[in-house]
Amino acid sequence: MACTYRVYLDRTVAPPMFGIESTKGIRSRRLSTDYRAVYQLAQQCNIHGLSPIHLYDVVEDFCRK
């Protein structure tokens, strides 16, 4: 079964922020308050079949923008 990614909302600390979680249980929290940007990142991860072991590298690059 392929790993897929989705956006989730983290409300544990203000302000609420979006993160990405995978079907394999890997989660990257509080990436941005911009839903669209995080959604597009998750979609690109899905389109390219990103392995969960590379998620943190992709997130690091995303946060540098």
pLDDT single digits (tens) 50-60: 999 999 999 99
pLDDT of residue 2: 83
Question: How many other CB atoms are found less than 10 A from the CB of residue 48?
Answer: 10
Length of the chain, in residues? 65
* Sheet containing 5-10, strands listed edge to edge, beginning at the edge strand earlier in sequence: 5-10, 17-22, 27-32
Answer whether residue 1 shows pLDDT above 80: no
pLDDT single digits (tens) 3-58: 999 999 999 999 999 999 999 999 999 999 999 999 999 999 999 999 999 999 99
Q: Which ranges of the chain does DSSP label H, i.e. alpha helix?
A: 35-47, 55-64
pLDDT of residue 65: 75
Domain limits, the chain:
5-64
